[in-house]
Amino acid sequence: MDPSAYEKMLDTLHIISKDPKIMGLHIEVRTLRFGWSQLYEIHAAIRSVAESGTRVTAYLTSGSDREILLASAAHHITMPPPAEVYLTGVAASVRFYGSALQRLGVEADLESAGAYKSFGEAYTRSAPTPENREAMDHLLGDLHDNWLETLGQGRSMEVAQLDDALRSAPLSSENAVQRGLIDAARYADEDWTAWEEYLGGEPRKISFGSFGRLRRLLAKLPMVRKKKAIVAVVHLDGPVVERREQMPRSGRVIASDDVVPVIEELTDNEQIKAVVLAVNSPGGSALASDLISRSVMALKEKKPVLASMGNVAASGGYYISAEAHEIWAHKATITGSIGVVGGKLVLGSALGKLGVHSSWMGPAPDPGLLAPHTRFHPEQRRRFRASLRRVYDRFISIVASGRGKTTDEIEPVAQGRVWTGSQAMDNGLVDSLGTLKDAVRAAAVRASLNPERIKTIPVRFDPPKFGALSQFMRAGTHTPLDMAVGFAGADGLSLQLIYGCSGDALALEPSVLDAEVWVGWLSP
């Protein structure tokens, strides 16, 4: 979903929760494509409506993990009699392309700093290392526990009951009613009949979107608009790069060339009383992350700066958040991954199959360090590892500075390990659990403002229209890298980043999980 549409949805739910004239909210829950953090935020917003005294009902057309979780915020859940409930719980399918790349003659020659920094494994191995499996089991276990807890609270069910439902799925709608997962098996028109009975007459209906547009329009009228202090919300979505051109096939990116000047302007603008960084990023260039972090350091000297983490704010995504006065996350946010990885794609074998060969010329003593057709030789590897270690140490020092801790205190929770938001708070990497709206309110309080009397201004870095498409068409799909990217599908965008930034240290979230956890590590 478009980020602005998502925020409008949350704003509308907030308005509904405060409006005593609204008697009910009926939600049709179809197949969802939200990340877990977004899902929980919408769930909390619907729950606020339900707790305000407004009756909330949900009609499920799809009964999988995400849909049933969201619907559990309602007082009453129904679904069509023929529908099935497919519950699996939180799981991850991690793909490994090492063998596939070898068949194409492409080798990922990567090094990392941090025992749990497992990003490169996807392109060098055919199975996870024990450290990777340990970290992922810990991470997914917490996400699964959150899912069980939230669903259990919403449906007044014990964990044992939910576990039994997981082991028995798929469930018929009747079985789901018997277990307490839903309240009734009936069709949508029957839901409206039930509403008429509840209200004692036919309800006056208005669509969710129309209601939200009307209220936002009224808020802009001079007669109701009041002068308010401004809190800027800077949306940082996508991989971190220095220049947008480094990721021509991606949509939204966090380009330091774009972001730093904007943060500098926010620093000097006296109308802006506080800034919230809304971060949703798997990381990327360590240098670009550092440049953005430095601009945040200057900003925090002038006014309150808070970071609010979305679905994922890992590695470079954490780097650019670390210097904020406060870090907010959702309990299901994927964060941490404080570590670096770097290297190059070795295309020599693939080019050789095409009859392309290379010869070095000139006086340079060691020209092949970043050459894409040869592996690192031992001395090059030693120097490259030392370079990564320097970047890693810098990353640790930034986190320690922002968190008010020593590097020795940060090291045990770093090493590239990923955490959920709740785990990160336990480890001192996050200050509070809550939504973006909660972070905005906290920023207002820090700026000595009344949270009810502020105006938020969103700052976005949207991609140029048709830019990614035209660059993709110009690029073609004929090189060994293009073949590899095409083979890997959406996941291959990470190969593109490695190739486009060969030799650069990358602060990247470690693995690509399918839609059961989040969709692609480069999803904007």
Contacts of 473 (CB under 8 A, 6+ apart): none
What is the average pLDDT score of the chain? 81
User: How far apart are the C-alpha atoms of 509 and 513, rounded to whole Å?
Assistant: 11
State residue 213's pLDDT score: 62
Task: Examine residue 462 and state whether it is found in any structural domain, yes or no.
Answer: no
Asked if 150 and 72 count as a contact pair (C-beta separation under 8 A), the reply is yes
Query: Which segment of 81-90, 266-275, 303-312, 466-475 scores lowest on mean pLDDT?
Result: 466-475
Q: Is residue 115 predicted with pLDDT exceeding 60?
A: yes
User: How far apart are the C-alpha atoms of 116 and 337, rounded to whole Å?
Assistant: 8
Asked if 43 and 70 count as a contact pair (C-beta separation under 8 A), the reply is yes
Q: Is residue 251 predicted with pLDDT exceeding 50?
A: yes
Task: Examine residue 17 and state whether it is found in any structural domain, yes or no.
Answer: yes
Mean pLDDT value of segment 370-386: 84
Mean pLDDT value of segment 241-255: 77
Mean pLDDT value of segment 367-381: 82
Percentage with pLDDT > 90 across the chain: 41
User: How far apart are the C-alpha atoms of 191 and 55, rounded to whole Å?
Assistant: 13
DSSP 302: T
- Residue ranges in 429-514 assigned as alpha helix (H): 436-446, 467-475, 480-488, 493-500
Q: Is residue 103 predicted with pLDDT exceeding 60?
A: yes
Mean pLDDT value of segment 390-402: 93
Q: Which residue has the tokens 């506080």?
A: 274
State residue 493's pLDDT score: 40
Query: Which segment of 134-138, 393-397, 502-506 scores lowest on mean pLDDT?
Result: 502-506
Mean pLDDT value of segment 263-273: 92
Torsion angle (degrees, nearest 10) of CA 171, 175, 179, 182:
80
State residue 222's pLDDT score: 46
Task: Examine residue 372 and state whether it is found in any structural domain, yes or no.
Answer: no
Q: Could you list the residue range(s) of the whole structural domain that residue 144 is in?
A: 3-90+138-220
Query: Which segment of 284-288, 387-391, 473-477, 496-500 scores lowest on mean pLDDT?
Result: 473-477
State residue 275's pLDDT score: 98
Give DSSP secondary structure letters for 371-411: -TTSPPPHHHHHHHHHHHHHHHHHHHHHHHHHHT--HHHHG
Query: Which segment of 82-86, 311-315, 519-523 scores lowest on mean pLDDT?
Result: 519-523
The SS3 of residue 335 is strand
Task: Examine residue 95 and state whether it is found in any structural domain, yes or no.
Answer: no
Domain count, the chain: 1
Q: Is residue 97 predicted with pLDDT exceeding 60?
A: yes
Task: Examine residue 488 and state whether it is found in any structural domain, yes or no.
Answer: no
Query: Is pLDDT larger for residue 238 or for residue 211?
Result: 238
Q: Hey, which of 103-107, 284-288, 520-524 has the most confident mean pLDDT? A: 284-288
State residue 471's pLDDT score: 37
Q: Which residues on adjacent β-strands are paired with residue 60?
A: 29
Q: What is the CATH number of the domain that holds 166?
A: 3.90.226.10
State residue 343's pLDDT score: 84
Q: Which helix (H) or strand (E) holds 179?
A: helix 173-179
Give DSSP secondary structure letters for 106-168: -EEEEEEESTT--TTHHHH-SS--HHHHHHHHHHHHHHHHHHHHHHHHHHT--HHHHHHHHHH
User: How far apart are the C-alpha atoms of 511 and 128, rounded to whole Å?
Assistant: 10
Query: How far is C-alpha 232 from the chain's CA centre?
Result: 20
Mean pLDDT value of segment 161-182: 91
State residue 209's pLDDT score: 65
The pTM score is 0.75
| 488 — pLDDT class (breaks 50, 70, 90) | very low
Q: Give 319-347 pLDDT, tens digit per residue.
A: 999 999 999 999 999 999 999 888 888 88
Q: Is residue 519 predicted with pLDDT exceeding 50?
A: no
DSSP 486: H
Give DSSP secondary structure letters for 69-94: HHHTTSSEEEE-TT-EEE---S----
Task: Examine residue 181 and state whether it is found in any structural domain, yes or no.
Answer: yes
State residue 517's pLDDT score: 25
Asked if 328 and 431 count as a contact pair (C-beta separation under 8 A), the reply is yes
Task: Examine residue 82 and state whether it is found in any structural domain, yes or no.
Answer: yes
Mean pLDDT value of segment 15-37: 85
Residue 357 CB-half CA count within 13 A = 2
Mean pLDDT value of segment 481-497: 40
Query: Which segment of 16-25, 133-142, 239-248 scores lowest on mean pLDDT?
Result: 239-248
Q: Give 194-208 pLDDT, tens digit per residue.
A: 888 888 887 777 766
Task: Examine residue 393 and state whether it is found in any structural domain, yes or no.
Answer: no
| 391 — pLDDT class (breaks 50, 70, 90) | confident
Q: Is residue 218 predicted with pLDDT exceeding 70?
A: no
User: How far apart are the C-alpha atoms of 269 and 12, rounded to whole Å?
Assistant: 29
State residue 215's pLDDT score: 62
State residue 375's pLDDT score: 86
Long-range contacts at 462-465 (CB < 8 A, ≥ 24 apart) = 462/252, 463/244, 463/250, 463/251, 463/252, 463/253
Give DSSP secondary structure letters for 311-329: EEEETHHHHTTTTSSEEEE
Q: Is residue 104 predicted with pLDDT exceeding 80?
A: no
